[in-house]
Chain A
Amino acid sequence: MDQNKIIKKALELFREGKLEEYKNFILENLQEFSEEVQKEIIASLVEAEIIKETARWEKLNQMLEEFLEILSNRT
């Protein structure tokens, strides 16, 4: 599939609200694009994972804080 068709199809999937399909479609067709485009897309998705991971550690910290509070109440 040529690059223009991939872009059009991806836009169509997004506009239909098929978000997972949209993401998968881009990943499945990644190799149709130049190496620098591939790297940008991977970097962008990895960056999103880093942001999610940060939020997860933040949540864990809140729970550990609660853990510490329980121990503090005992003493």
Chain B
Amino acid sequence: MIEFPSKLPEKPEDSARTKKESSEVEPIIIRLENGNVRVELPGGTRINLEGKNIEIVLQKILPSSGGELRIEVNREKVEDLRRQQEKTRKKMEDLSERISGEKRSVSVQKFFELSNFISEIEKLREAANNSSLDEESKKRINELVEKISSTSSSEVIQITQQDLEKIKRIFDILEEIYGLFREIHKIPRKLLDHYKKSDEERFFTSTYFLKIIKTIIEEQFDQTLSLLISGISNALKMRDLRIDTDVFSTYVKPMIAMMAGAMVNKVQGSKQTRDEIRRQFESAKINFENIN
């Protein structure tokens, strides 16, 4: 039997997105402009997906004539990016003031595009080279600007062997859950028997699964996904298997989304499956409607 959280999470962790939690998410607009994918974050900030696989997929999915895709991501992550960019903008202003004696304001929207940022840095390098700085300082600045210019936006995610092992364990847990729910119409009797026992920990564990069953047969994809993510986050915490959020978002969340989608898809349009599940609940004397 899968070991799972002894307590049901009050609210999903990480960046699980549900309709009820709209205040925690930031809407993002993705559109095609002359064949290029533009990802716009609130406040005019943009991220560059050029040359990445996701760009090719989006080029296929997005309608070519002015259509757009709206997605939601964790607000905190967007805020972190905005804060860093604002810091950069201030530092650039400081630098131009220190070099030329005047604070040059930079167009924020243009500035955050890499090419504009690099051209601003190049201007500062030129000004520094033409200033009365000593040769050693000029040399260091030139080296620094080279480093800044070569800081590519397509740096790959750092994934360690330890992360890999952790994700494999997460996938083992997920696969076990997925295997169980692939046969949702044959919910194992032992799960229902387990639920009826008075032991509190077992009760919560089984309740967690029963909640997932309920969201699946009610075709609530968002809720199923949210329950799976919060369950996995809790299971990771209990096993001290924390992994970085970028690694989680890149490798784990897509798998959870596919599984949640496949499970919901399994019952879609299948009245027979629904009726069978309800019958099983009734025979175990569990009021399905009251599971929440």
Contact = CB atoms under 8 A, between A and B. Distances in A.
Interface residues of B, number: 79
Contacts, number: 196
A39 B245 contact: no
B54 A45 contact: yes
A68 B128 CA distance: 11
B95 A26 contact: no
Contacts of A38: 61
A70 B95 CA distance: 11
Nearest to B79: A54
B17 interface: yes
B233 to A, nearest CB: 14
B175 A11 contact: yes
B95 to A, nearest CB: 6
A50 B54 CA distance: 13
Nearest to B161: A17
Contacts of B47: 46, 49-50, 53
Interface stretch (B147-155, B199-207, B274-282): B147-155
Q: SS class of chain B's interface: helix, strand, loop or mixed?
A: helix
Given A40-B257, A44-B253, A68 B91 contact: yes
Interface in A1-32: 3-4, 6-7, 10-11, 14-15, 17, 19, 22-24, 26-28, 30-31
Nearest to B87: A61
A13 B145 CA distance: 40
B54 A46 contact: yes
A50 B77 CA distance: 7
A54 B76 CA distance: 11
Nearest to A63: B148
A4 B262 contact: yes
A23 B81 contact: no
B144 A53 contact: no
8 contacts: A22-B251, A23-B250, A37-B257, A37-B261, A41-B254, A47-B74, A70-B140, A71-B137
Given A40-B17, A70-B140, 9 more contacts: A14-B171, A15-B168, A42-B58, A45-B250, A47-B249, A48-B246, A51-B80, A70-B141, A71-B128
